[in-house]
Amino acid sequence: MAIWTLHGDGKTIAPGEVVAPNERLTWGRTIGLGGQHVVSMFGATFVFPIIMGLNPQLAVMLSGFCTLFFLLVVKGRIPSYLGTSAAFVGGIAAIHAQGGTSAEVTGAIMVSGLVLAAIGVAIHFLGGSVVFKVLPPVVTGAVVMLIGFNLAPVVAGTYWPQDQWVALIVMVVLVVSSVVLRGFLGRVAIFLSLLFGYALSWVLDLVTGPITSYDATAGAVTEHFRVDWDGVASASWVGLPPFTDEANGIVGIHAPSFSLTFIVLVLPGVIALIAENAGHVKAVAEITKTDLDPMMGRALAADGLATAMATGVGGSPTTTYAENIGVMAATKVYSTAAYAAAGVIAMLLGFSPKFGAVISATPGGVLGGITVVLYGIIGLLGAKIWKENGVDFGNPLNLMPVAAGLIIAIGDTSLRFTDTFSLSGIALGTIVVIVLYHVCRVIAPKDDAGPVGGGDDADREPDTDPDGGATRERVEQPA
């Protein structure tokens, strides 16, 4: 870990100066900055566990632990926060659709985390160019896109029907606030929209009474209040997250179990994690003016091991968060001490079951408004990868494999091998894109194959940001 030295007097940052990763401000200011990082990551870190059917209190607690672990592995040189990853949402939705349990969900993600860790170790010794030859921008962009767009039926069938008007209003508020708000408020637009939707649902319960709509818990149309705080009232203020009791609808701490079918469903998420981690390390290197390429393998291995450890006790997958990169760009404080403080604060929040119960009571209509935007963002970030790497879709080598894989994934097409094993949706679409691309590249006439990835400059590493949307623009031009 870094031994942090005091920057100047520890109170002020002179014009043109920054607080480097191995520096810090006074501990009071450092803890305050850590709190700001917690707020910045908070919205996505607890929204995605709810969407994935996992415990949000446990996710927040483990995000703090995993952040501290990440800082240890990268020797304090990469200031990053490890929040909940959206890369596995599509695969998890498919697991739940096939009747999979929470233990099977975390078991499948745990294997993916170990695969990512192994890839990180390989990159550390072989160099980053190896993985980008196997997963060029045209392939990475396609996988990120199909993961996002495969989730459209989840919004339409699960979240939106629970309260369509609240979902519509929250969606509009999220879109408008993301565009209108600047600086820190813009980066926490998801969190602000969730608070707004939560309050709106509570007011509607008071004014109009119960709503008759689809209830995801009951799996049927029932009459119920939008906001149910029965669990909040009975939850204690201090304690561990609950242990999983699926018979009573409680998801919390649990051991993983493993199914080959479900493991295959979530493995494509590893590709998205490689892309977003690489993009985030590049972004941090750019704003800190340091060469972090030698640390790329460590960052990937740390994220993979953190995901494996978190899911080993029932938690959510992790990834480096672009939201926090934006906070650094705005404050000019890149100190890893602030992230260490953020990790400790998040762990303390995770020791409050009352806090976890409030999060878990988020109305389904509110999640409907948020997921319709978030899932779309994930999909469109695939197009962002293509654009930033100059992928040429006038070349059939790029166009045809991607076209086939996208339709298979979005339509949730399946290929059955036996009565107990089949490939479908994201898994099948990813395999089609990767295999067909490389097979076609080998057999294509040399003058048609073009550079790896299909763009004029596609040999470069993808410049991606799958968790943060427009954060790279905010990094380069902070509000």
Distance CA(286)–CA(463), nearest Å, equals 12
Eight-class DSSP state of 367: H
Classify residue 278 as left (phi > 0), alpha (psi -120 to 50) or beta: alpha
- CB-based burial, 73-111: b 16+ in 10 Å, e otherwise: bbebbbbbbbbbbbbbbbbbbbbbbeebbbbbbbbbbbb
pLDDT at residue 462 above 90?
no
pLDDT at 304: 95
Mean pLDDT for 289-314 is: 90
pTM exceeding the 0.85 threshold for the entire prediction: no
Higher pLDDT, 301 or 458: 301
Distance CA(405)–CA(268), nearest Å, equals 12
Mean pLDDT over the full length of the chain: 82
- Average the pLDDT over each of 181-190, 204-213, 408-417, 468-477 and give the range with the smallest value: 468-477
pLDDT per residue over 53-86, tens digit each?
Answer: 899 889 999 999 999 999 999 988 888 899 888 7
Mean pLDDT for 93-116 is: 92
- Non-local (6+) Cβ contacts of 59 within 8 A are 45, 46, 48, 49, 84, 310, 315, 316
Side chain identity, residue 349: L
pLDDT at residue 92 above 60?
yes
- Residue 187's pLDDT band (boundaries 50, 70, 90)? low
Distance CA(109)–CA(157), nearest Å, equals 24
For residues 357 and 58, is the Cβ–Cβ distance under 8 A? no
Strand-strand pairing, 23-24 and 5-6: parallel
The closest of 339, 296, 266, 334 to 85, measured between CA atoms, is 266
- Residue 222's pLDDT band (boundaries 50, 70, 90)? confident
pLDDT at 402: 93
Mean pLDDT for 406-410 is: 89
List, in sequence order, every residue forming a beta bridge with 211; answer none if it has no partner. Answer: 224
pLDDT at 475: 32
The closest of 464, 459, 388, 472 to 130, measured between CA atoms, is 459
Mean pLDDT for 11-17 is: 81
pLDDT at 98: 86
- Average the pLDDT over each of 213-222, 239-248, 403-412 and give the range with the smallest value: 213-222
- Average the pLDDT over each of 3-7, 77-81, 256-260, 319-323 and give the range with the smallest value: 319-323
- Non-local (6+) Cβ contacts of 365 within 8 A are 159, 160, 162, 163, 164, 165, 166, 167, 170, 197, 201, 226
The torsion angles phi and psi of 318, rounded to 5 degrees, stand at -120, 165
For residues 83 and 44, is the Cβ–Cβ distance under 8 A? yes
pLDDT at 56: 87
SS3 string, 150-191, reads CCHHHHHHHHHHHCHHHHHHHHHHHHHHHHHCCHHHHHCHHH
The closest of 84, 139, 142, 95 to 266, measured between CA atoms, is 95
- Average the pLDDT over each of 115-124, 209-218, 353-362, 463-472 and give the range with the smallest value: 463-472
Higher pLDDT, 479 or 16: 16
CA distances from 165 to 218, 221, 300 (A): 21, 16, 41
- Residue 471's pLDDT band (boundaries 50, 70, 90)? very low
pLDDT at 470: 35
Distance CA(334)–CA(388), nearest Å, equals 26
pLDDT at 459: 45
pLDDT at 1: 46
pLDDT at residue 256 above 90?
yes
pLDDT at 450: 56
**What are the tokens at 8?**
């100047």
- Residue 449's pLDDT band (boundaries 50, 70, 90)? low
pLDDT at residue 145 above 80?
yes
Percent pLDDT > 70 in the chain is: 87
pLDDT at 202: 92
The torsion angles phi and psi of 251, rounded to 5 degrees, stand at -120, 130
Distance CA(277)–CA(472), nearest Å, equals 13
pLDDT per residue over 365-391, tens digit each?
Answer: 888 888 888 778 778 878 888 988 889
Higher pLDDT, 448 or 10: 10
